[in-house]
Structure 1
Amino acid sequence: MKYIYLVSLLIVVSLFACKDKEQSKNIPNSENQIKTDSNNKEVKNNNVKNKIKTEFSWEKIPISTKDIGNFPFIKPPKGIIAKDIGSSSYSKKLNFSKLKMFSKTSNTTFNIEGKVEFMNFSTEDENANWEQYYFDKSINDYLESIGAIQVNKGGMTDVYYEKYWSDYDGEYTVKHNDRELIRMWVIKQVNKKIGVQIFKKRMAIVEEIEFKQTIVKFTADDILKEINAKGFATLQINFDTGKSRIKASSYDVISEIVKMMKVNSNLKISIEGHTDNVGDELSNMKLSKNRARSVLMAISDEDIDESRLKSEGFGQTKPVENNSTEEGKTKNRRVELRKI
């Protein structure tokens, strides 16, 4: 009897041991399972990172030898016209801007800088229906015939869509629901790189050109020539907002004034401050006087006798442009050097 009891007990213990062993294999938080999940997650993250880091490369774009004509290279299909430049916010020409392109293949954005034209299309006959398929097929077939490569057939990942528009500071914008309609092409020739964006009834074209800096230093000779020609020279000296402290970026201009004064020892000048119409007249008058005085002191600190200098402020009383625009306000915030 005791023998039968011991055998039964061993069988029961064995059954429980097997069950515990089987359960331990299925516990999701076991050390092995955690390591496996961690490794899988790391591989997945690396794959995502590698995909995002892929850059668009012009080296992979074949060269087209087709005759594509002159910029902007593409005319609308028969029966469709591009609205006159200026008739719409989407019809304009820019000598230098950029298009931010998107490549579905490399899953990334890239810029093309240069000459840009934005076109907004309509039917030539105002009473005719817009035929989207006709427009799309005409444009697509023509681009293919001149060796263009389509880098995006429409649609972007959410990540790159947000980056595309949040980081886009060009002239062209679209509504959120247009993202599925954006088609993008590139054309590469021996001496040309071109980008094309096609929307429902719109198109943007850019031809890459090298940026040329046109800002040049306003030298002592330039200042003197302007004073001799007009009796005064207009300078854009920058100050801290609402204050008379000269910004560090404007001390190059001060140095040129000093050079002019040292070379022309008999020259005497009046430094005159002017403001835009932001704020009240009394505050602007005081600000312009203080700013003119700051320029005078900066010049005299460079060993220019103060007897050759005087300062005056006129506030907002002598505008040279309309204060209704930001450009006008910028030009009205100025310092003039007048010969005395």
Structure 2
Amino acid sequence: MKKTALIFAFSAFIVSCNQSTKQQESTSDAQENTIETKDVKTEDTQASTEFNIENIPFSTADIGDFPFINLPKGLEARKGAIQKNFDVCFFPINGVMTPFEGKLYKANVTAVQGEEYSQRYFEKSMEDYLLSVGAVKVFDGEITKEEYERYNKQDPNKGASGDMGYWDQNMKFYVIRTKEKGNVYIQFTSNNAGGTLNVLQEEAFQQTITKVTADDIAKDLTEKGKSILYINFDVDKANITTEGKEVVTQIAEALQNDKSLKIAIEGHTDNTGDALHNKKLSDARANSVMNALITNGIDKSRVTAKGFGAEKPLVANDSEENKARNRRVELVKVN
């Protein structure tokens, strides 16, 4: 009897050991699978955060014309929205605010009068529409405070309409890649008070500045009776910069080539700031040009100078581009 019990106990011990060994092997296998799974997830995560525009599929949808987004019904862009033919805008790539250049639209979004703003309505409208036209989501999250401090002073539109990219702000960033319209970058934010929207159509910079020549000035004066020039001065001063002096040299040459030519030099500004200050500044700048011409050998009887401030704009002062056009010097033929 004792012998039988001993054999039974020994057998049970062996079975127990075998089960323990199998459990350890099973646990080990499970651990190995878990590690392998984690490795795969890590690799997938890294792959998903890499951005290469060439990996974005082309959209065949008709996205319309710039800025490509009609706001949802009941929402509108607040006054002061930015629309520029060329500028820079920063977008979050892997949490790093990265500059892209091209045609830019930036706006603050609010509800139309009589309606209540809904964060969910704005975000869902935007996301559903963007996905419907083949946009690809690149980023959905916040940047770090360190990243904000690194880039924010590089952004020329910081604090203006449509501004975003703060460390405590969720940003959603999409890309539409098209063969006809090129690469279109769209990002937006929202809270329970309103939203912001940025749209950039990527374009390479094209230089449009050409050197003003004496022949150009003479041709304008003969055919149009005046020549519109953009002479550079020191900021808020009448001192002509080195680049500005090159233009003055060409004016002097045009006058030297035609000894009978007499001109009135008119200074103009945009409407930014105090009107009286602008008029005085434009007058001082016109006189600086006149004095520079006299120094270059032009008889003072052939030139006069007067400033008009913002009294005679070429175009409405309703954008930075138009204001730049209004900050000018005009040469008017007087004989």
TM-score range, shorter chain: 0.5 to 0.7
1: CA distance, partners of 2:75 / 2:323: 32
2:138 equivalent to 1:148: no
Mapping for residues 201-220 of structure 1, pairs under 5 Å: 201-220=195-214
CA distance 1:126–1:132, shift in 2 (3 Å)? same
2: CA distance, partners of 1:317 / 1:130: 42
1:182 aligns with 171
Please state whether the residue corresponding to 1:278 is helix, strand or coil. Answer: helix
1: CA distance, partners of 2:324 / 2:241: 19
Return the offset for 1:241: 6.7
TM-score, structure 2 as length reference: 0.61
The AA in structure 2 aligned to 1:336 is: L
Percent identity over paired residues: 22
2: CA distance, partners of 1:143 / 1:310: 62
Query: Please, what is the CA RMSD of the aligned residues?
Result: 4.4
Mapping for residues 87-236 of structure 1, pairs under 5 Å: 87-90=78-81, 93-104=83-94, 107-122=95-110, 126-127=114-115, 129-170=116-157, 172-174=161-163, 179-191=168-180, 192-200=182-190, 201-229=195-223, 231-236=225-230
Please state whether the residue corresponding to 1:159 is helix, strand or coil. Answer: helix
2: CA distance, partners of 1:73 / 1:332: 31
Mapping for residues 1-340 of structure 1, pairs under 5 Å: 57-59=52-54, 61-71=55-65, 72-77=67-72, 80-83=73-76, 87-90=78-81, 93-104=83-94, 107-122=95-110, 126-127=114-115, 129-170=116-157, 172-174=161-163, 179-191=168-180, 192-200=182-190, 201-229=195-223, 231-239=225-233, 246-264=240-258, 266-270=259-263, 272=265, 274=267, 277-278=276-277, 289=287, 291-298=289-296, 300=297, 306=298, 310-314=302-306, 320-321=312-313, 334=329, 336=331, 338-340=333-335
Deviations 1:189-234 (CA, angstroms, capped at 9, x unpaired): 3452111112113322222133333333333233223322454445
CA distance 1:225–1:308, shift in 2 (3 Å)? farther
TM-score, structure 1 as length reference: 0.60
1: CA distance, partners of 2:293 / 2:154: 39
Return the offset for 1:160: 1.4
Please state whether the residue corresponding to 1:210 is helix, strand or coil. Answer: coil
CA distance 1:93–1:254, shift in 2 (3 Å)? closer
* Contact residue 228 and residue 328 of structure 2 kept, 8 A: no
* Contact residue 262 and residue 334 of structure 2 kept, 8 A: yes
Return the offset for 1:155: 0.7
Gaps of 5+ in 1: 1-53, 301-305
Please state whether the residue corresponding to 1:199 is helix, strand or coil. Answer: strand
The AA in structure 2 aligned to 1:228 is: T
Return the offset for 1:339: 4.3
The AA in structure 1 aligned to 2:140 is: K
* Contact residue 106 and residue 162 of structure 2 kept, 8 A: no
Alignment: residue pair count: 269
Return the offset for 1:122: 4.8
Return the offset for 1:62: 2.1
* Contact residue 272 and residue 338 of structure 1 kept, 8 A: no
Gaps of 5+ in 2: 1-48, 270-275
Return the offset for 1:292: 1.5
Return the offset for 1:153: 1.0
